[in-house]
């Protein structure tokens, strides 16, 4: 790919419209009729450490007219086509949420909602508590985690956390109906879809409050449809990781479902169930202060989602319990003490992945006035400082590569696309902090937003592979996710809206190891091959992370339009 663009497109009113080319010289922007709307020189050469090429940035931010365009070099090389329009991210944003519906387990997918991607109800049987033969658990439901059919608490909690915060902060971006079974019931569909997962999570809690780490078979199924997978599923050991994430997630959901402007009697009842579950989990955590981590039993190959510490999970739980208690005007002391105790150990509070969830504690405290009051000024300042320092570090990374993105060469790990979008979440939170501080430096917000835009541009095609990393979106969207249903359903195209894990500098599957020569620059370590689970799987939490960032960008574009309207 000689000219790399965001293949979905650029928001008309936003001035960050950038591409990258591999040749210097002059370029034009043409519409479908061949008319030239912009002409300019590529910027100075950048020796890019992420992909190992010398590249030349293009900036056509002055073009605002809606339309379908491509970029063209003097030698006649063309980019993929893309759109410039208002709310250009709407389609991909909604598809990334709707994709979760296709992961629903325990129910049939009907043509009305699923189009051609129908299947009969899957995994309808009871599961056995691992190590307790005959002790059965009725834990049907939830979303398949990824390309496999397992369901795991810690990534589930992160997915729900990202979606609920995105909804809570950028509600306008969640107004469209998604054609899921609950659509039209008065509740935003993102809350309907999340409820499907939350109902399953509730079933994973033991009577004493502890939460089973995961529900999977002993080994991953072959590439078969889910209803054909008849393996026995096990509920594996209770862990403090799962219990703390569960606690946080339930406390947050209790607040969001009850506090949502559309909440009716049913949502209130649901919220009370979530709250009770959160309290039981909290009690378990208090009674079990030692880390209870998780490792797979020998010989089992389903996901582990292991961790070396549960401090960040306990921190998130304390923050959400504190926020909930503050919202209910209850005593928050117990939660604040735990929050401060863990913060005092000096752990970082800027990540939003399943290994490190501490960033969610910062989200909880910094996005809610009552929670901030409960935390106290000192803690608020400490969290704000940490968030802004990290945002500055990320923004600075953008100055050292041709894509303007907050990535270093070492950041391209398994699921690197989540690193890309989770950094977008951190930058969004930093913008919120600046807004609260009423920091007059609008330039700082603009800089963070520019980097957020670069993260999304990358995801949608402005990268060295030339692929858009979201199925169904872009002229060259990847088409072969490591996803069992897609592999087995006999349909050519995968369903739209799945974010690929993306380039992985340390490939971890057989085919990728064989095909990618050692020393390949990290952004080039990608293959659009179904077999490559370490490069091209999809997961619920890679989608939710991207949804957060598209929600921010959509909402900001509207805010800007409104401000401009008011000024006019």
- Distances in Å between the Cα of 14 and the Cα atoms of 60, 343, 474 are 11, 38, 20
**How many residues make contact with ligand 9MR (CB under 6 A)?**
11
Residue facing Zn ion at closest CB distance: 105
Q: Which is nearer to ligand 9MR, 173 or 538 (CB)?
A: 538
Give the DSSP H/E element, type plus range, for residue 10.
strand 9-11
Q: Is residue 48 annotated as a catalytic residue, yes or no?
A: no
Binding of residue 122 to Zn ion (CB under 5 A): yes
CB 473 within 8 A of CB 418: no
According to the binding rule CB under 6 A, does residue 146 interact with ligand 9MR? yes
What dihedral do alpha carbons 163, 243, 361, 368 form, nearest 10°? 60
Longest Cα–Cα distance in the chain: 72
Q: Which helix (H) or strand (E) holds 68?
A: strand 67-73
Q: Which of residues 212-251 bind Zn ion (CB under 5 A)?
A: 226
**Which residue from 8, 50, 97, 105 is in contact with Zn ion, where contact means CB under 5 A?**
105
Pick out residues in 536-555 that bind ligand 9MR (CB under 6 A): 537, 539
* Residue 481 site contact among Zn ion, ligand 9MR, none (CB < 5 to 8 Å, cut-off depends on kind): none
Provide CB contacts within 8 A for 132, sequence distance 6+. Answer: none
CA gyration radius, the chain: 23
By CB under 6 A, tell whether 148 contacts ligand 9MR. yes
Report DSSP state, residue 132.
S
The active-site residue, picked from 390, 482, 509, 530, is 482
User: In sequence order, what are the residues at sequence separation of 6 or more whose Cβ sits closer than 8 angstroms to the Cβ of residue 264?
Assistant: 186
Q: Tell me the residue nearest to ligand 9MR as measured from the CB.
A: 303
Task: For residue 287, indicate whether it is catalytic.
Answer: no
Find the binder of ligand 9MR among 22, 80, 145, 449 (CB under 6 A).
145
SS3 for 29-61, per residue? Answer: EEECCCCEEEEEECCCCEECCCCCCEEEEEECC
Structural tokens at position 240: 């403090």
> Whose Cβ is closer to ligand 9MR: residue 6's or residue 539's?
539
Q: Which stretch binds ligand 9MR (CB under 6 A): 146-154, 226-234, 333-341, 492-500?
A: 146-154
- Residue 123 interacts with, from Zn ion, ligand 9MR, none (CB under 5-8 Å by kind): Zn ion
Is 528 in the active site? Answer: yes
Write down the least CB distance from residue 145 to ligand 9MR, Å.
5
414 binds, among ligand 9MR, Zn ion, none (CB under 5 to 8 A by kind): ligand 9MR
Q: Please name the residue that has the structure tokens 């306008």.
A: 172
Strand pairing of 214-216 and 151-152? Answer: antiparallel
CB of 497 to Zn ion, least distance (A): 19
Taking the complex as a whole, how short is the minimal distance between the CB of residue 532 and Zn ion, in angstroms? 23
Burial profile 81-106: b = 16 or more Cβ within 10 angstroms, e = fewer: bbbbbebbbebbbbbbbbbbbbbbbb
- The one of ligand 9MR, Zn ion, none whose footprint includes residue 537, by CB under 5 to 8 A per kind, is ligand 9MR
- Per the annotation, the verdict on 537 as an active-site residue is yes
Q: Give 26-30's long-range contacts (Cβ < 8 A, gap of 24+).
A: 26/73, 26/74, 27/3, 27/58, 27/71, 27/72, 27/73, 27/74, 28/71, 28/72, 29/60, 29/63, 29/69, 29/70, 29/71, 29/72, 30/69, 30/70, 30/71, 30/72
Neighbours of 392 (CB within 10 A): 14
Closest separation in Å from C-beta 150 to ligand 9MR = 6
Toward ligand 9MR, which CB reaches closer, 170 or 526?
A: 526
**Toward ligand 9MR, which CB reaches closer, 189 or 537?**
537
Residue 302 Cβ, how far from ligand 9MR at the closest point, in Å? Answer: 7
Task: Determine the interface stretch with ligand 9MR among 110-118, 143-151, 164-172, 275-283 (rule: CB under 6 A).
Answer: 143-151
Least distance from ligand 9MR to the Cβ atom of residue 415, Å? 4
Task: Give the integer Cα–Cα distance in Å for 284 and 204.
Answer: 14
- Among ligand 9MR, Zn ion, none, what binds residue 533 when CB lies within 5 to 8 Å by partner kind? ligand 9MR
**Do residues 380 and 372 make contact, with C-beta atoms less than 8 angstroms apart?**
yes
State phi, psi for 371 to the nearest 5 degrees: -65, -40
Comparing CB distances to ligand 9MR, the nearer of 245 and 537 is 537
Residue pair 468/4 in contact by the 8 Å Cβ criterion: no
Q: Which of 106, 415, 502, 522 binds ligand 9MR (CB under 6 A)?
A: 415
Binding residues among 302-361 for ligand 9MR as defined by CB under 6 A: 303, 305
Residue number with CB closer to ligand 9MR (220 or 382): 220
Contact positions vs ligand 9MR (CB under 6 A): 145-146, 148, 150, 303, 305, 414-415, 533, 537, 539
Active site residues: 148, 482, 528, 537
Residues at the site binding Zn ion, with contacts judged by CB under 5 A? 105, 122-123, 226
């Amino acid at each position: 790919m000689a000219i790399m663009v965001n293949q979905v497109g650029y928001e008309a009113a936003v001035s960050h419209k950038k591409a990258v080319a591999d040749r210097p010289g002059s370029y034009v922007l043409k519409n479908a009729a061949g008319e030239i709307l912009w002409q300019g020189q590529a910027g100075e050469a950048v020796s890019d450490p992420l992909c190992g090429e010398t590249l030349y940035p293009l900036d056509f931010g002055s073009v605002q007219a809606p339309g379908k365009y491509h970029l063209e070099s003097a030698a006649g090389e063309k980019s993929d086509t893309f759109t410039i329009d208002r709310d250009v991210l709407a389609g991909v944003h909604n598809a990334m949420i709707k994709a979760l519906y296709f992961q629903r387990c325990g129910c049939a997918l009907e043509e009305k909602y699923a189009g051609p991607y129908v299947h009969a109800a899957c995994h309808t049987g009871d599961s056995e508590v691992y190590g307790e033969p005959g002790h059965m658990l009725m834990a049907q439901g939830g979303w398949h985690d990824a390309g496999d059919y397992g369901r795991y608490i810690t990534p589930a909690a992160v997915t729900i956390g990202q979606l609920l915060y995105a909804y809570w902060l950028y509600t306008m971006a969640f107004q469209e109906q998604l054609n899921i079974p609950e659509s039209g019931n008065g509740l935003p569909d993102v809350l309907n879809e999340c409820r499907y997962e939350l109902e399953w999570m509730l079933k994973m809690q033991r009577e004493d409050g502890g939460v089973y780490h995961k529900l999977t078979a002993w080994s991953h199924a072959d590439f078969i449809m889910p209803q054909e997978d008849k393996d026995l599923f096990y509920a594996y050991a209770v862990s403090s990781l799962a219990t703390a994430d569960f606690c946080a997630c339930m406390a947050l959901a209790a607040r969001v479902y009850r506090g949502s402007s559309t909440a009716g009697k049913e949502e209130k009842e649901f919220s009370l169930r979530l709250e009770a579950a959160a309290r039981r989990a909290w009690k378990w955590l208090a009674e079990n202060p030692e880390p209870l981590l998780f490792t797979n039993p020998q010989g089992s190959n389903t996901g582990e989602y292991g961790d070396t510490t549960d401090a960040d999970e306990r921190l998130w739980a304390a923050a959400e319990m504190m926020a909930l208690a503050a919202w209910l005007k209850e005593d928050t002391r117990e939660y604040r003490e735990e929050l401060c105790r863990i913060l005092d150990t000096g752990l970082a509070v800027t990540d939003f992945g399943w290994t490190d969830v501490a960033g969610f504690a910062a989200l909880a405290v910094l996005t809610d006035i009552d929670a901030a009051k409960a935390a106290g000024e000192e803690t608020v300042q400490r969290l704000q400082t940490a968030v802004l320092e990290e945002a500055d570090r990320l923004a600075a990374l953008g100055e050292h590569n041709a894509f303007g993105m907050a990535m270093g060469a070492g950041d391209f790990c398994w699921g690197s696309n989540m690193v890309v979008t989770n950094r977008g979440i951190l930058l969004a939170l930093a913008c919120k902090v600046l807004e609260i501080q009423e920091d007059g430096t609008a330039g700082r917000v603009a800089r963070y937003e520019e980097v957020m835009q670069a993260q999304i541009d990358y995801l949608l095609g402005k990268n060295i592979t030339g692929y858009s990393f979201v199925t169904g979106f872009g002229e060259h969207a990847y088409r072969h996710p490591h996803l069992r249903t897609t592999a087995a359903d006999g349909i050519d195209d995968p369903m739209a809206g799945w974010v690929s894990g993306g380039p992985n500098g340390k490939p971890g599957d057989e085919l990728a190891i064989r095909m990618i020569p050692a020393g390949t620059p990290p952004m080039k370590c990608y293959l659009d091959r179904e077999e490559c689970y370490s490069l091209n799987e999809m997961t619920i939490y890679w989608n939710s992370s991207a949804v957060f960032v598209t929600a921010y960008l959509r909402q900001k574009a509207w805010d800007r339009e409104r401000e401009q309207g008011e000024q006019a």
